[in-house]
């Protein structure tokens, strides 16, 4: 199986696409195990692609626009820009550590001790707020300034697979404008393929970060995209362990809301990963087949963990208000399965808000319908975390 995993990594690394709507596999809504054979998987891929041929030209046009979405003019039309802010101290970093300016982003982030940079990025509100320009404050005022501007809410953003920084910045800019500090979690293929060495380590670090900085915040919100829902499920699994009772209590008191954005079923992960990797139909079939083989032969090191994560998401133990963004023509996820799960949560007393479009690409709802997406999310935040999480 080591050779199978190596082959899978090589194919994905060589062929993964950069198109926004194709950049993800998914996990975690309806967790019924898949029984499709490789031949049926190939048939399903061809059928779905034939059904969407009539709108593919329009999608390709939008894809090209999405690659240019980072332009200042386009950004300003979608969300209010966040000015590059000034410096300030943080208990989460060394005093002398400076904010990091990525070449791919205009937002400021800081490194967090003991957390791997390839999986974690932290964007503090006080470094990215409009009024935090270094021209407006002096060195003597910086500590007081941070105390005034410190966010009361933390947004944990679980990114989709192969997410690019410039795409994630659209969401981070929105949440910074609402007054959140933002912890972004990214998962690569290796983290997903071998959970005990990847996604479960990430989950433990997420919990540790929240617990260590719980006195900084009055509320926490999770926003999970596609495969990020699986990673969020791993966080729930970690909290359900016997040794995590104290951590679970801390997180349970702070966690106020959940957002699922194009979240997918565990048995849709092979199809989703194949579409995220390449547009070539044969390679999609090959990757899908290898992933199904991985699920079958690697039950103890992988599949049982996928199922546990999915079960944790389905249980929705924290009963947090939930917002779901989905579309009827998503070529990765089955929206009807999602609606079934959401209806069951409603029956269990969970406050559920659903925004479903007839046509919208996977993890691209904000791009396709910026006004509707933004207004729905703002209303959800105001209802469940207060009108302005920063307390300004």
Whether the per-residue pLDDT at 88 is higher than 50: the answer is: no
Q: Domain limits of the chain? A: 2-385
2-385, which class in CATH? alpha beta
Reply yes or no on whether the pLDDT at 219 is more than 70: yes
pLDDT in tens, 336-345: 999 999 999 9
Q: Mean pLDDT in the chain?
A: 76
- Report the 3 state secondary structure along the chain: CHHHHHHHHHHHHHHCCCCHHHCCCCCCCCCCCCCCCHHHHHHHHHHHHHHCHHHHHHHHHHHHHHHCCCCHHHHHHHCCCCCCCCCCCCCCCCCCCCCEECCCCCCEEECCCCCCCCCEEEECHHHHCCCCCCCCCCCCCHHHHHHHHCCCEEEEEECCCCCCHHHHHHHHHHHHHCCEEEEEECCCHHHHHCHHHCHHHHHHHHHHHHHHCHHHCCEEEEEEECHHHHHHHHHHHHHCCHHHHHHHHHHHHHEEEEEEECCCCHHHHHHHHHHHHCCCHHHHHHHHHHHHHHHHHCHHHHHHHHHHHHHHHHHCCCCCCEEEEEECCCCCCCHHHHHHHHHHHHHCCCCEEEEEECCCCCCCHHHHCHHHHHHHHHHHHHHHHCCCCCCC
Residue 131 confidence (pLDDT): 45
pLDDT at 83: 34
How high is the pLDDT of residue 7? 53
Lowest-pLDDT range of 44-58, 252-266, 291-305: 44-58
**What pLDDT, on a 0 to 100 scale, did the predictor assign at position 207?**
97
44-58, 129-143, 227-241, 270-284: lowest mean pLDDT where?
Answer: 129-143
Arithmetic mean of pLDDT, 294-310: 92
- Higher pLDDT residue, 221 or 2? 221
Higher pLDDT, 5 or 241: 241
């Amino acid at each position: 199986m080591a050779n199978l995993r190596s082959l899978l990594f090589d194919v994905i690394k060589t062929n993964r696409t950069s198109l926004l709507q194709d950049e993800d596999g998914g996990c975690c809504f309806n967790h019924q195990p898949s029984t499709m054979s490789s031949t049926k998987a190939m048939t399903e891929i061809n059928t779905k692609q034939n059904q969407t041929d009539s709108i593919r030209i329009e999608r390709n046009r939008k894809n090209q626009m999405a690659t240019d979405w980072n332009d200042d003019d386009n950004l300003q039309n979608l969300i209010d820009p966040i000015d590059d802010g000034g410096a300030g101290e943080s208990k989460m970093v060394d005093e002398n550590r400076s904010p990091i300016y990525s070449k791919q982003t205009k937002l400021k982030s800081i490194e967090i001790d003991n957390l791997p940079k390839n999986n974690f990025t932290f964007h503090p509100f006080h470094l990215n707020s409009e009024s935090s320009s270094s021209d407006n404050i002096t060195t003597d005022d910086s500590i007081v300034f941070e105390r005034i501007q410190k966010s009361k809410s933390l947004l944990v953003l679980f990114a989709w697979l192969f997410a690019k920084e410039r795409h994630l910045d659209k969401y981070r800019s929105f949440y910074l404008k609402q007054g959140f500090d933002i912890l972004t979690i990214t998962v690569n293929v290796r983290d997903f393929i071998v959970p005990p060495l990847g996604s479960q380590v990430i989950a433990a670090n997420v919990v540790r970060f929240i617990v260590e900085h719980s006195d900084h915040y009055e509320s926490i919100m999770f926003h999970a995209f596609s495969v990020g829902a699986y990673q969020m499920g791993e966080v729930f699994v970690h909290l359900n362990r016997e040794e995590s009772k104290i951590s679970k209590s801390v997180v349970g008191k702070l966690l106020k809301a959940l957002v699922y954005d194009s979240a997918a079923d565990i048995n849709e992960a092979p199809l989703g990963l194949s579409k995220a990797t390449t547009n070539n139909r044969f390679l999609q079939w090959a990757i899908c087949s290898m992933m199904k083989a991985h699920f079958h032969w690697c039950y103890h090191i992988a599949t049982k963990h996928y199922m546990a994560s999915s079960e944790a998401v389905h249980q929705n133990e924290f009963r947090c208000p939930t917002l779901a963004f989905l579309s009827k023509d998503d070529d990765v996820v089955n929206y009807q399965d999602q609606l079934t799960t959401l209806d069951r949560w409603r029956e269990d007393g969970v406050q559920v808000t659903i925004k479903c479009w007839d046509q919208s690409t996977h993890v691209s709802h904000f791009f396709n319908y910026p006004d509707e997406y933004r207004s729905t999310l703002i209303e959800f935040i105001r209802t469940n975390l207060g009108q302005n999480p920063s307390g300004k």
